[in-house]
Amino acid sequence: MSTVEKIQRQIAENPILLYMKGSPKLPSCGFSAQTVQALSACGERFAYVDILQNPDIRAELPKYANWPTFPQLWVDGELVGGCDIVVEMFQRGELQTLIKEAAEKNKDAE
């Protein structure tokens, strides 16, 4: 399986997916930490990929997503954005709605 196929599968299989540096419990950069905080406050489970442990994904994802930086939040197969966008959406109440809807949709699918 190529790296791009691996990325596509991760995005397809996880309705709420965060590509980040480190893990939600131990983020390795401030931007990842802020993004995890906003996501966690939404109260739904989310998957994550530690790009520091996956250099192939770290190299390919920016090209695939056409987004140069990490973290990257993907919801329902769509790139939402990075730290600034996620935190802004959280402050406006948009992130909570997006995350809840994605979680609901996928509860129905299970």
Query: Could you give the CA distance from residue 21 to residue 48 in angstroms, rounded to a whole number?
Result: 10
Q: Is 58 annotated as a binding residue?
A: yes
Q: Which domain holds residue 52?
A: 3-109
Query: Could you give the CA distance from residue 50 to residue 101 in angstroms, rounded to a whole number?
Result: 25
CATH of the domain at 18: 3.40.30.10
pTM of the full structure: 0.95
Q: Is 29 annotated as a binding residue?
A: yes
Query: Could you give the CA distance from residue 73 to residue 4 in angstroms, rounded to a whole number?
Result: 17
Q: Is 70 annotated as a binding residue?
A: yes
What's the number of CA atoms in the CB half-sphere (13 Å) around residue 26?
3
Is residue 75 within 8 Å of residue 16, measured between CB atoms?
yes
Q: Is 76 annotated as a binding residue?
A: no
Read off the pLDDT of residues 77-95 as tens digits, 9 standing for 90 and up.
999 999 999 999 999 999 9
Q: Is 31 annotated as a binding residue?
A: no
- Does pLDDT of 60 surpass 90? yes
pLDDT of residue 110: 62
Pick from 105, 110, 102: nearest CA to 43: 102
Number of domains in the chain: 1
